[in-house]
Amino acid sequence: MENSPPVDRISHLPDDILCIILSFLPTKFAFTTTVLSKRWKPLFTLSTQLIKTLHLSCHSTNWQLFDRWIRNAKCHPVENLQIISSACVIRPSIFRFPTLVVLKLKRLKVVDDISVDLPLLKTLHLDKVRLKNKQNFNKLLHGCPILEDLIANIYYIEPAPQPEEVFTLSTATATGEFKILSKLIRAKINVCDVPFRAIHNVEFLSLTINFYNRGSPIFRDLINLQLSMFYFHHWDHVMEVLQHCPKLQILLILKLSEDKINWKYPNFVPECISSHLISCTINYEGLEDELQFAKYILQNARLLGVMQITGTFLFKQKPSLQPLQELYSCPRISSECKLSIG
């Protein structure tokens, strides 16, 4: 009959059928079914046993329900977990997924001490994640024995140590604070978060340095380096890094200089420049030393295929590129080198 009430046929289906249906829905839609009734609340948890990938965007409206699911994390055979939140506090059990291969967290806060069980994890991305302190981050690295891909953009809730207690590159290894990530291939880090010696075997490295601290190890496998340096003071710092990267092929330098820097032509050529470098990109802030560094690369990089100079960096005004025109007439040791300015 036309006026007969609608029949809820879906809710009368068996649990295993409903779980299969939920497993085909986008995670955020499947999760919203937990508020329908008591009948639906446990089904999302059951359905995740069929799901190997979870991409969640968690906000205050549904975080409490999701938090209950996190408490039983070890029950779920998830392999890929990605969570974006609006600075919500999450339970430390997020780091106890023995089946996880990929873990990506963004704008999360973990206020308690953590314990870690991530024996299969290969990718760890922490973007704007707040942890209690550096010790908890150390625990996390120790609990990822086969990690291959690391992004560490993290902050600590507890106050930073006093200047005399600041961790240095040399004491990091001596005290055993950081485990060497022997399987690591790719890393994007701030040097304040992870000492060089913990990642010395990487092939691809994006490194942000707010201040330079001497004592880096040899990066024997590094072929691609993006070096971002704030409060840049001297090209000697760059040259020392390059001396420790004998196989480097691709170099990108982004720097922010406060004052004019005097260029002193080095009396040596790092192995990577003379024998391996094929691409070099630097940002130009309108300073003479940048022009001199570019000439140094052009005159010594035998295999260089691309030399690119860009005129922008962060909030600084784009400088005039006219002084760079003389680079076109600068002698190049590589006949294959293509110069790009702009």
Question: Same domain for 172 and 284?
Answer: no
Residue 277's pLDDT band (cuts 50, 70, 90): very high
Put residue 194 in one of left, alpha, beta given phi > 0 → left and psi -120 to 50 → alpha: beta
Question: Which of 127, 161, 193 is the last residue before a domain boundary?
Answer: 193
CA distance 303 to 273: 8
Same domain? 117 vs 250: no
Percentage above 90 pLDDT, the chain: 35
Asked whether residue 11 is domain-assigned, the answer is no
User: Which residues share a beta bridge with 207?
Assistant: 189, 227
**Which comes out higher in pLDDT, residue 27 or 173?**
27
What's the pLDDT tens digit per position in 115-165? 999 999 999 999 999 999 988 998 999 899 999 999 999 889 887 654 433
**Cα–Cα–Cα angle for 318, 319, 320, rounded to 5 degrees:** 125
**Residue position matching structure tokens 């000492």:** 195
Please check whether residue 300 lies inside any domain of the structure. yes
Q: What is the pLDDT of residue 172?
A: 40
Reply yes or no on whether the pLDDT at 94 is more than 50. yes
Residue 195: the pLDDT is 72
Total domains in the fold of the chain: 2
Contacts of 171 (CB under 8 A, 6+ apart): 177
Question: How far is Cα 109 from Cα 129, in angstroms, rounded to an integer?
Answer: 6
Distance CA 155, CA 163 (A): 17
Question: Does the pLDDT of residue 12 top 80, yes or no?
Answer: no
* Whether residue 175 is found in the same domain as residue 247: no
pLDDT at 61 over 50: no
Residues 140 and 69 in one domain: yes
Residues 305 and 215 in one domain: yes
Q: What is the pLDDT of residues 314-335, one digit of tens each?
A: 556 677 778 888 899 999 999 9
Question: What Rg do the C-alpha atoms of the chain give, in angstroms?
Answer: 26
Q: Is residue 41 part of a domain?
A: no
Domain of 140, in residue numbers: 52-193
User: Pick from 134, 158, 193: which residue ends a domain?
Assistant: 193
For 224, phi and psi rounded to 5 degrees? Answer: -135, 120
> Tokens 């004998």 sit at which residue?
246
How large is the average pLDDT for residues 31-59? 71
Last residue of a domain, one of 193, 227, 243: 193
